[in-house]
Amino acid sequence: MLEREKVLRDPVHDHIYIQHQVILDLINTKEFQRLRRIKQLGTTSSTFHGAEHSRFSHSVGVYEITRRICDLFERNYPSKEPSDGLWDDSERLVALCAALLHDVGHGAYSHTFEHIFSTNHEEMTQKIITDQSTEINAVLREVSPAFPEKVASVINKTYSNPQVVQMISSKLDADRMDYLLRDSYFTGTHYGTFDLTRILRVMRPYEGGIVFDKTGMHAVEDYIISRFQMYQQIYFHPVSRSMEVILSHLLKRAKDLYLKNELEDGFAKNYLEPFFNEEFTLGDYLRLDDGVLNTCFESWRYSKDRILRDFAIRFLDRHPLKSMLYDSKTASISLDNLKELVSNCGYNADYYTGTNNSFDLPYKYDKANIKLLEKNGDLVELSNVSALVGALTNKSLGDERFFFPKEMLEEESQSEIFKCYYDEFLKHIKNDRII
């Protein structure tokens, strides 16, 4: 314990209270500081310009919510004897460390990057915590030699105490609560707002993990809906997804060129070579951040390759592709036609068209359900008592989009030669949807 607690100022939680030297030391490691240079929401800031917050700020937020849960549990439900299903406060430190570090393996534009280069941020998180080469591992080892593995096991959900695991990862955990509130705050929308203090008040430890007092049912319901709304309105925004498609095709183009030995030498190649080859070290991985990748793209503005150059410019200067909705039925009929029309207009359709499916299961009915506690100790499952959550249960909500150059929609074509293709293209579209 620190002699006197320290605080970080945080716009979401007002203050974040640091009470252990270990937590302070973890924050000061280079692996954790690196999270300052990785945006939490990647390309979303191209749509919601306020959303420039980093994974650093989310990580300390998850820590803070976990700390408050521990405080509340310790104050109201302290364990009196082993296996009484109440809270054992000697678990606090491992919970706090796991909360703080749960995302430490994230890289720049993780989602897209992983897809192209087969990296995996969850594996990297485990490695950063358990590999003796890292500063984080060194800090954790000072607690005890086995401590790094213990923290890592909470994050990969194999830890023995389900209360600790569920604080950090479950259908209603500190991670999700922080990102909904934080992403709402920074985008400037309010869809992700729910009643955090009320939810904390109705949370309770039990032998199987964490449950919620039934009197708080509507607050839990409100959280589920907020999460659903954030997915539909923020995370699945078509323009951000378009920028993701561009990023993905840009990285793919670079990789394709590299594999054909056509990528120019230089800085960008040096940084990315281990990933093109899918043989990278932890050190290679940790060197990358948003700024490094953007700098690679900046250097490709001047590439000899027309496509690489164009996609670098599109990404940096924000020239999104246009998109239309489709579904499995219209896809089989129309997508190939549309790609061909794009191709006819002189675009390489492998790069200049693309699809993106974004679906979320707002509430999945499985063993890890949210459970409500009746007065007499009975547990009831949330979707069984909430009409609203019931309506969303096991429903995969989202959409599928086809991306293409916005020139295809030009009504007054400047190039007479493509006019027939444009006209044909438009016939496939009604109400922003492919028919």
Cβ closer to its own copies: 112 or 187?
Answer: 187
Cβ closer to its own copies: 150 or 428?
Answer: 428
Distance in Å, CB of 135 to its own copies, minimum: 9
Binding to its own copies by residue 120, rule CB under 8 A? no
Site for its own copies, residues 205 to 244, rule: CB under 8 A? 214, 218-219, 221-222, 225, 228-229, 232-233
Binding mask 7-46 for its own copies (x = CB under 8 A): xxxxxx-xx------------xxx--xx-xx-------xx
- What DSSP string runs through 335-392? IHHHHHHHHHTT--HHHH-EEEEEEE-SB--STT--EEE-TTS-EEEHHHH-HHHHHH
Q: How far is the C-alpha of 55 from the C-alpha of 182, rounded, in Å?
A: 11
Binding mask 170-209 for its own copies (x = CB under 8 A): ---------------xxxxxxx-xxx-x---x--------
100 residue type, one letter:
L
Q: Are 58 and 168 in contact (CB under 8 A)?
A: no
Binding to its own copies by residue 406, rule CB under 8 A? no
Burial (0-12, 13-18, 19+ Cβ within 10 Å), 134? buried
Distance in Å, CB of 227 to its own copies, minimum: 12
Q: Indicate which single residue of 157, 304, 329, 395 sits in contact with its own copies (rule: CB under 8 A).
A: 395
Q: Indicate which single residue of 81, 265, 317, 411 sits in contact with its own copies (rule: CB under 8 A).
A: 317
Binding to its own copies by residue 427, rule CB under 8 A? no
Site for its own copies, residues 285 to 314, rule: CB under 8 A? 287, 289-292, 294-295, 298, 313
Site for its own copies, residues 357 to 386, rule: CB under 8 A? 374-376, 378
Binding to its own copies by residue 390, rule CB under 8 A? yes
**Beta 397-404 vs 354-360: how paired, if at all?**
antiparallel
Cβ closer to its own copies: 154 or 199?
Answer: 199
Q: How far is the C-alpha of 311 from the C-alpha of 324, rounded, in Å?
A: 20
Phi, psi of 376 (to 5 degrees): -90, 10
Backbone angle region of 170, left / alpha / beta, with phi > 0 → left and psi within -120 to 50 → alpha: beta
3-class DSSP assignment, residue 271: helix
Distance in Å, CB of 309 to its own copies, minimum: 13
Query: Binders of its own copies: how many residues, by CB under 8 A?
Result: 81
Distance in Å, CB of 243 to its own copies, minimum: 11
Site for its own copies, residues 48 to 77, rule: CB under 8 A? 48-50, 52-54, 56-57, 60, 76
For residue 21, the tally of other CB atoms under 10 A from its CB is 15
Most distant CA pair in the chain, distance: 82
